[in-house]
Amino acid sequence: MRIKISQITTSDIGKELTVKGWIKTSRFSKNFGFVEINDGSQFNNFQVIVSEDLKNFEDASKLATTGASVSVSGKLVASPGKGQAFEMQAKTFDIIGLCDPETYPLQKKKHTLEFLRTIAHLRPRTNTIGAIARVRNALAWATHEFFQKRGFIYVNTPIITGSDCEGAGEMFRVSTLDAKNPPLIDGKVDFSQDYFGKETFLTVSGQLNGECYALALSDIYTFGPTFRGENSNTSRHLSEFWMIEPEMAFAELSDDMECAQSYLKHCVKTALEKCPQDMEFFDKFVEPGLIKRLQHVIESPFEHLTYTHAIDILKKAPKKFDYPVSWGIDLQSEHEKYIVEEHCKKPVILTNYPKEIKAFYMKEDADGKTVAAMDTLVAGVGEILGGSQREDNLDLLTKKMDHLGLNKENYWWYLELRKYGSVPHAGFGLGFERLVVFTTGIDNIRDAIPFPRYPKHADF
Q: Which of 90, 155, 243, 340 binds ligand ATP (CB under 6 A)?
A: 243
Q: Which of 123, 125, 134, 228 binds ligand ATP (CB under 6 A)?
A: 228
Applying CB under 6 A, the span of 23-31, 263-271, 278-286, 380-388 interacting with ligand ATP comes to 380-388
- CB 359, CB 391: distance < 8 Å: no
Helix (H, G, I), strand (E, B) or coil at 206: coil
Q: Which of 246, 347, 380, 386 binds ligand ATP (CB under 6 A)?
A: 386
Q: Does 21 bind ligand ATP (CB under 6 A)?
A: no
Q: Does 384 bind ligand ATP (CB under 6 A)?
A: yes
Q: Does 339 bind ligand ATP (CB under 6 A)?
A: no
Q: Does 36 bind ligand ATP (CB under 6 A)?
A: no
- CB 244, CB 259: distance < 8 Å: no
Nearer to ligand ATP, 12 or 170 (CB): 170
Q: Which of 130, 434, 436, 452 binds ligand ATP (CB under 6 A)?
A: 434
Helix (H, G, I), strand (E, B) or coil at 92: strand
The answer for residues whose C-beta is within 8 angstroms of residue 215's C-beta and 6 or more apart is 249, 417, 421, 422, 423, 425
Taking the C-alpha atoms of residue 344 and residue 337, their distance in angstroms, rounded to an integer, is 10
Q: Which of 120, 139, 238, 294 binds ligand ATP (CB under 6 A)?
A: 238
- DSSP codes of every residue in 336-356: HHIIIIIII-S-EEEEEEEGG
Nearer to ligand ATP, 120 or 436 (CB): 436
Nearer to ligand ATP, 37 or 220 (CB): 220
The answer for residues whose C-beta is within 8 angstroms of residue 265's C-beta and 6 or more apart is 297, 298
Nearer to ligand ATP, 75 or 457 (CB): 457
Applying CB under 6 A, the span of 62-70, 100-108, 114-122, 426-434 interacting with ligand ATP comes to 426-434
- CB 247, CB 218: distance < 8 Å: no
User: What is the 8-class DSSP label of residue 2?
Assistant: B
Nearer to ligand ATP, 129 or 238 (CB): 238
Task: Output the smallest distance, CB 245 to ligand ATP, in A.
Answer: 8
- The closest alpha carbon to 310, from 285, 330, 294, 290, belongs to 330
Applying CB under 6 A, the span of 11-19, 46-54, 266-274, 378-386 interacting with ligand ATP comes to 378-386
Q: Does 210 bind ligand ATP (CB under 6 A)?
A: no
Helix (H, G, I), strand (E, B) or coil at 185: strand
CA 427 to chain centre: 18
How many residues in the shown chain lie near ligand ATP by CB under 6 A? 19
Nearer to ligand ATP, 276 or 455 (CB): 455
Bridge partners (DSSP) listed for residue 25: 36
- CB 202, CB 208: distance < 8 Å: no
Nearer to ligand ATP, 279 or 448 (CB): 448
User: What is the 8-class DSSP label of residue 29?
Assistant: -
Q: Which of 201, 221, 241, 353 binds ligand ATP (CB under 6 A)?
A: 241
The answer for residues whose C-beta is within 8 angstroms of residue 213's C-beta and 6 or more apart is 153, 155, 220, 247
Task: Output the smallest distance, CB 424 to ligand ATP, in A.
Answer: 20
Nearer to ligand ATP, 90 or 350 (CB): 350
Q: Which of 206, 431, 441, 452 binds ligand ATP (CB under 6 A)?
A: 431
Nearer to ligand ATP, 45 or 388 (CB): 388
Phi, psi torsion values for 6, nearest 5 degrees: -65, -15
Q: Does 350 bind ligand ATP (CB under 6 A)?
A: no
Taking the C-alpha atoms of residue 382 and residue 340, their distance in angstroms, rounded to an integer, is 8
Q: Does 430 bind ligand ATP (CB under 6 A)?
A: yes
Q: Does 429 bind ligand ATP (CB under 6 A)?
A: yes
Taking the C-alpha atoms of residue 154 and residue 245, their distance in angstroms, rounded to an integer, is 10
- The 173-174 sheet, strands edge to edge: 160-161, 200-202, 173-174
- CB 161, CB 224: distance < 8 Å: no
Half-sphere exposure of 338 (CA within 13 A, CB side): 19
Task: Output the smallest distance, CB 331 to ligand ATP, in A.
Answer: 9
Binding mask 156-185 for ligand ATP (x = CB under 6 A): ------------xx----------------
Task: Output the smallest distance, CB 298 to ligand ATP, in A.
Answer: 20
Bridge partners (DSSP) listed for residue 431: 243
Taking the C-alpha atoms of residue 425 and residue 361, their distance in angstroms, rounded to an integer, is 11
Q: Does 383 bind ligand ATP (CB under 6 A)?
A: yes
Bridge partners (DSSP) listed for residue 89: 49, 75
Task: Output the smallest distance, CB 321 to ligand ATP, in A.
Answer: 17
Q: Which of 237, 265, 363, 446 binds ligand ATP (CB under 6 A)?
A: 237
Task: Output the smallest distance, CB 446 to ligand ATP, in A.
Answer: 10
Task: State the Rg of the chain over Cα.
Answer: 27
Please give the residue ranges that form the binding site for ligand ATP (CB under 6 A).
168-169, 228, 232, 236-238, 241, 243, 383-386, 429-431, 433-434, 445
